[in-house]
Amino acid sequence: MIERNRVVITGVGAVTPIGCGKDKFWDAIMQKKSGIDLISRFETSGFKTRIGAEIRDFTPEDYGIQSKDAKRMDLFTQYGVAAATLAIEDSGLELGDYNDRVGTIIGTGIGGLITLEEEKKKLVESKSPSKVSPFLIPMMMPNAVNAYVSIIHKLTGTSPCLANACATGSYALIYACKDIALGDFDVIITGGSEAILTEIAASSFANMKALSRRNDDPKGACRPFDKDRNGFVIGEGSGVVVLENLEHALARNARIYAEIVGYATNTDAYHITAPDPGARMVKKAILDSLNMAGLSPKDVDYINAHGTSTKLNDKSEAMAIREVFGDHKVPVSSTKSMIGHLIGAAGSVEAAVCGMAMEKQIIPPSLNYETPDPEIDLNVIKEPTPAKLNVVMNNSFGFGGHNAVMVLKKYTG
């Protein structure tokens, strides 16, 4: 049997619609703040859905991004670089000129859609190819966050970019875990970033009938597991964590949020957008992650659910949880109820929430759970709830049937 290094979370960086920086973000969660409102970034008259979760207080220079560099970065890259910088600062890592044992795995579900949309408009309106920015490709390419984080912090280790739709952030963490567990690297800066609040994305998702149309009640629009849920809300932002070999973390006396003790990924092989209604592979991912951790369902103290607020996804996830956990009514909540769906950044932001929840021993709330759905039947937590959190699970599922489940455990030495 291969000897595996243990992997711990030692730094958290969050850029979200309810707060940038882990402390502001956590405080907003505890205050049950919603970052969902009417979209201000573009004119929405005529749009079926006019709500989103925008970040309205972001200035790239506040996170060490030079103004000239910011102009050559899509917004998703700016968010990812900022979150990575925050995570590295939070971890207390002392980085040198070159860091061969430190890598980056920061993914995105879609990439630089804002840049692509803007530059296409320039070409169409001007009818002049010379008007298109020479930086279009490096601005929209999905690996731009990895590249800039590596350049800024001189990280010369591995740097793959994953794109697994809404499960991207969790996939990134899991693949980072594997690289550290096998001893290839000591530290990996990992997570996801997304910024797709654009006219084209809002139109496409709405025409797909995936978005909530509760335009007259933005704060109440995202209601995971509630009987009256009617679609997800597009959010934006980035979640990045520092994952570290336990021995490396202990040697520098690092603060440890949690240990990642189990994980699993698989694919429904069912449909390009809809989840398997039988949730067969979701159940398998949950069980496989627990098996890797050497734990049983009754050991889990809290689940941060994927909880998108769509009819089909919530129903299939709930079915998987009920069938795996049985009479153990494990507490469940969804961070998306406050910040919307961050697509490629969702899983990593939610992993950060799990780490902070374990540190503070508080279950974060789920907003807008008002009318129980008999087809759901979960123990949804509506208020910040102090609890003994020793084992926490994080679920992420994405278009294409990509499933990722992680099990985190409180590190006690």
Tens-place pLDDT, residues 326-383: 999 999 999 999 999 999 999 999 999 999 999 999 999 999 999 999 999 999 999 9
> Bridge partners of 12?
241
* Residue ranges for the chain with pLDDT beneath 50: none
Residue 363 covered by a domain: yes
**Residues with catalytic function:** 166, 306, 341
Residue type at 203? Answer: S
Other beta carbons within 10 angstroms of residue 134's beta carbon come to 9
Please tell me whether residues 219 and 323 are part of one structural domain.
no
Write out pLDDT tens, residues 367-394.
999 999 999 999 999 999 999 999 999 9
pLDDT at 3: 79
Please tell me whether residues 208 and 302 are part of one structural domain.
no
**Residue 341 belongs to domain spanning:** 263-409
Please tell me whether residues 67 and 210 are part of one structural domain.
yes
Other beta carbons within 10 angstroms of residue 124's beta carbon come to 9
Please tell me whether residues 273 and 242 are part of one structural domain.
no
Model-level pTM? 0.98
DSSP secondary structure of 142-197: TTHHHHHHHHHHTB-S-------GGGHHHHHHHHHHHHHHTTS-SEEEEEEEE---
Q: How far is CA 138 from CA 72, 111, 118, 189, in A?
A: 8, 11, 14, 21
The torsion of the CA quartet 350, 356, 360, 362, rounded to 10 degrees, works out to 0
Question: What's 77's domain CATH number?
Answer: 3.40.47.10
| Spatial distance between the Cα atoms of 208 and 194, rounded to a whole number of angstroms | 20
Please tell me whether residues 343 and 400 are part of one structural domain.
yes
